[in-house]
Amino acid sequence: MTLTGLIRNDHAQTLLGLLFGIIFGFLLQKGGVTYYDVIMGQLLLTDFTVVKVMGSAVATGMIGFHLLRHFGLVRRHVRAGSTGSNVIGGLIFGLGFGLLGYCPGTVAGAVGQGSLDALFGGVIGLIIGAGIFANIYPALSRSILNKGEFRHQVLPDILKVNEWYVVVPVTALIVIVLVVIESMGL
Amino acid sequence: MAIWSPYIAGVLIGILVCFSFLLSDRPIGCSTAFVKTRGLIEKVLRGDRIHDIEYYREIPPRIDWQFMIVPGIIIGAFLSSVLSGTFRFEFVPPLWASTFGDTPVLRLIVALAGGIFLGIGSRWAGGCTSGHGISGTLQLSISSIVSATFFFVGGIATAMVLVHVVG
């Protein structure tokens, strides 16, 4: 089966979603980030496990994604953003993140390891919240979601340079930050 | 080993996201699954009338890749914790118990409130810590970098107030 054929096969994709989820959940749990104490430790700036996992995932994925894109094997999936959507939405997310102590992916991982606050609080809350958003979406999409639209979609477009001039320094910066965090004993 | 080095877990997650772009032509994100779950529940309760809701026309409630990622994560984390012998039922995490006591009711109320804000905020921003924070940021997406920054700005402020001021 070709890649395009695989991508267009709905049944195969549904199974792949499950498979990606299983591996992702396994890695999140092994990385320690499905624990409330670890995530809250990050938000209280006493435990930097979340930054270490996310930083190494972004650095690795950034190089891998752009190599695959260079060879025409993957496409970008980015959306135009706005202050109304990404800043306001980000802050509402942050309020929930700090109260719950899990995010939408890690809350599912926490359910898998037996955390009942994640199941009866987090998952139920997320389903309620998604429903509230679905109901206010028409009003929001006509008003706040498009306020202050960003003019560019990706960093290389702002800087008007070849993407590798951004990928390499950003990856290096992430590695330096992780080395500094490690050397400070965090 | 119960817990791996966060760097090993992180590098493997980065590779996993690359495979998701390659084999499924999509980033790994989790918050859409909760919209689909909500839509599927409403479909059972209200039938085809849910098609009147604009948001469910944009994110159709059906069992697909974006839905299956969440049951997958639950299974994966279950396997990981069972294999390392760390699976156990717990209502109140230790850090919460040391600040607010071990009453499950208080923890559940705050977790529920947090989940509701998280559900609204993730859809408002168009993604979560995995969709924006990892998959979007590694594509150098500006909306993702901005979102991820404010996830943590809001999260750090809320956690600091919750633990150091309220607690």
Among B45, B84, B138, B161, most A C-beta atoms within 10 A, so best to mutate, is B138
For residue A152, the distance in angstroms to the closest alpha carbon of chain B comes to 7
For residue B56, the distance in angstroms to the closest alpha carbon of chain A comes to 7
Query: Residue B1 has what pLDDT?
Result: 81
The structural domains of chain B, with segments of one domain joined by +, span: 1-89, 91-167
DSSP 3-state assignment of B127?
coil
DSSP-assigned letter for residue B126: T
What DSSP string describes chain A? --HHHHHH-HHHHHHHHHHHHHHHHHHHHHHTTTSHHHHHHHHTTS--HHHHHHHHHHHHHHHHHHHHHHTTS--------BIIIIIHHHHHHHHHHHHHS--HHHHHHHHHTTBHHIIIIIIHHHHHHHHHHHHHHHHHHHTGGGTTB-S-SBHHHHHTS-THHHHHHHHHHHHHHHHHHHHTT-
From chain A, the residues in CB contact with B129 under 8 A are 54, 97, 103-106
pTM above 0.95, yes or no: yes
Output the tens digit of pLDDT for each of chain A's 186 residues.
689 999 999 999 999 999 999 999 999 999 999 999 999 999 999 999 999 999 999 999 999 999 999 999 999 999 999 999 999 999 999 999 999 999 999 999 999 999 999 999 999 999 999 999 999 999 999 999 999 999 999 999 999 999 999 999 999 999 999 999 999 999
User: Is B68 in contact with A60 (Cβ distance < 8 A)?
Assistant: no
Give residue B167's pLDDT band: very low, low, confident or very high (50, 70, 90). confident
User: Chain A: residue nearest B148 by CA?
Assistant: A90
Q: For chain B, where are the E strands, in sequence order?
A: none
